[in-house]
Amino acid sequence: MAVQLRGSKSAALLAAAIVLALLGGGIWVNAQSTRKPKRRPANAQKTGTAQRTTPALPSATTNAQFDEYVKWGEEARLASRLDEATDFYTKALQIRPDWPDGWWYLGAIYYEKDSYQAAQDAFNKLLALDEKKPEAWGLLGLCQFQTGDYERAVVSLQRARSLGLVGNSELETVVRYHTVLLYLYFQQFEIAYEVLREFLKLGNESPKIVDGFGLAILRMPVLPKDIPADKRELVSLAGQAGLNMAARRLDRAKQAFETLLSRYPDEPNVHYSFGVFELSQDADTALKEFQRALELMPLHQPAMVQMAFEYLKRNEYDKALPLAEKAVELDPKMYPARNVLGRVLLELGQAERAAKELEEGVRLAPSSPEMHFALARAYTRLGRKDDAQKERETFKRLQEEYERQRNTRQTAETDKTQEPAKP
């Protein structure tokens, strides 16, 4: 079942709720289409069914009035008379504002009608009653995306994903895709890349996913609809390279990168991404590509960070230090830059300064196991045994949580791939 609802609802009612939850706003995403299915007008009638008129209110108790409004609202919704259903649900909620299903149905109807602000209000009322409803967080985030409230949208979509949209694969797909778009928009390219990899595990390599990889590879903070016309081929070629790299199809990825480099030799992020690809295979080539990116863009901070990490790995600390320092100067909020600078300083015997850099890295990324591990080493070097032990314990806890979440995702992905094909 795609949407779980509380209460004694009939099977038909639940099915209708599923349809309402999964339609809306031109943002349906799958491998075949992104078009919104056609729907009948709000006042449309089924063949042979007369337009229902609102009966006179019975002179009964408030509870009886509530029950009548719910009954009429359900009848209207199932007959696709959405305006009428909205009116009845609104009246029912005026009597019983703590009725969660009513806010759900009202939000879903507004979402279906592209009334995103009204839908947001309804989902917010629902979440005030129960904040652990992932479907409501997901649809709230999609509404916020449609109204351009991107900062709130990314928070809502992240919340939906963290709570888990188990058993709701269609909504999960839409939420995942829009989460990627927002990560790209907010320049969280590495995170966007990792989320895009989830689509590959489910066999989704649609053009939209290819474009997403292209934007991540090129580090372009734009939405797909805003890709300049003269950049579309570049994004598409970069997307093929990024997709094959993520899928570990190394020969095809290298071929795609070579094509990309031959056609766009002066794009710094093409060289940077090819360097990232080569790091695990030919680190010398990777360093040359990072250096080329810096020649084309002298303040290319991610290239500096990658080079600093590679020189740290090679114990060439004097080469790593200026790159790490410059990277922190250019982007003080980028915690990997703090990580590499702190570790280089520690190897150079500057433990006090190293600890300060790593403490700032932990503040920026408190859920990063690597940051806590590096800080524990710095505290150990300084003789701060209690602080070091605390950081090691935090590292262990975060690492175990990471492994638990990864295993849960892998199990869920395995279950999905084993599901029988739908007719």
> How do residues 286-331 score in pLDDT, each as one tens digit?
999 999 999 999 999 999 999 999 999 999 999 999 999 999 999 9
Mean pLDDT (whole number) for 30-58: 39
Q: Which domains does the chain have, with CATH numbers?
A: 98-183 (1.25.40.10), 187-223+231-298 (1.25.40), 321-405 (1.25.40.10)
Q: What is the pLDDT of residue 166?
A: 81
Q: Are 24 and 35 in contact (CB under 8 A)?
A: no
In this prediction, residue 268 has a pLDDT band, given cuts at 50, 70 and 90, of very high
- 410 pLDDT band, cuts 50/70/90, is low
Give 414's pLDDT tier (boundaries 50, 70, 90): low
Q: Is the pLDDT of residue 236 over 70?
A: yes
For residue 230, what are the contacts with CB-CB under 8 A and spacing of at least 6? none
**Rounded Cα–Cα distance for residues 197 and 191 (Å):** 10
Residue-level pLDDT at 195: 96
Name the DSSP class of 254: H
> How many residues are recorded in the chain?
423
Question: pLDDT digits over 199-216, tens only?
Answer: 999 999 999 999 999 999
Q: For the segment 88-97, what is each residue's pLDDT rounded down to a tens digit?
A: 999 999 999 9
Burial of residue 334 (CB within 10 Å: 0-12, 13-18, 19+) is middle
- Look at residue 372 and tell me whether its pLDDT is greater than 50: yes
Per-residue confidence (pLDDT) for residue 402, from 0 to 100? 82
Q: pLDDT, tens digit, for every residue of 239-248?
A: 999 999 999 9
More confident residue, 417 or 13: 417
- Is residue 7 very low, low, confident or very high in pLDDT (cuts 50, 70, 90)? very low
DSSP state of 8: S
Does residue 14 surpass a pLDDT of 90?
A: no
What average pLDDT does the structure give for the chain?
A: 86
pLDDT recorded at residue 411: 58
Tens-digit pLDDT profile for residues 60-87: 578 899 999 999 999 999 999 999 999 9
For residue 205, what are the contacts with CB-CB under 8 A and spacing of at least 6? 31, 199, 243
- Between residues 373 and 57, the one the model is more confident about: 373
User: What mean pLDDT do residues 353-360 have?
Assistant: 98
- Residue 124 confidence (pLDDT): 97
The tens digit of pLDDT for each residue in 163-211 reads: 998 888 899 999 999 999 999 999 999 999 999 999 999 999 999 999 9
How far lies 358's CA from each of 159, 191, 337, in Å? 28, 21, 10
Largest CA distance in the chain: 86
Q: What is the pLDDT of residue 25?
A: 32
- Burial of 403 per CB tally in 10 Å (0-12, 13-18, 19+): exposed
pLDDT exceeds 70 at position 30: no
Q: The tokens 């729907």 sit on which residue?
A: 39
Q: Quick one: what percent of the chain has pLDDT higher than 90?
A: 78
Candidates 141, 217, 232; CA nearest to 178 is 141
Query: pTM for the complete prediction?
Result: 0.78
d(CA 358, CA 164): 32
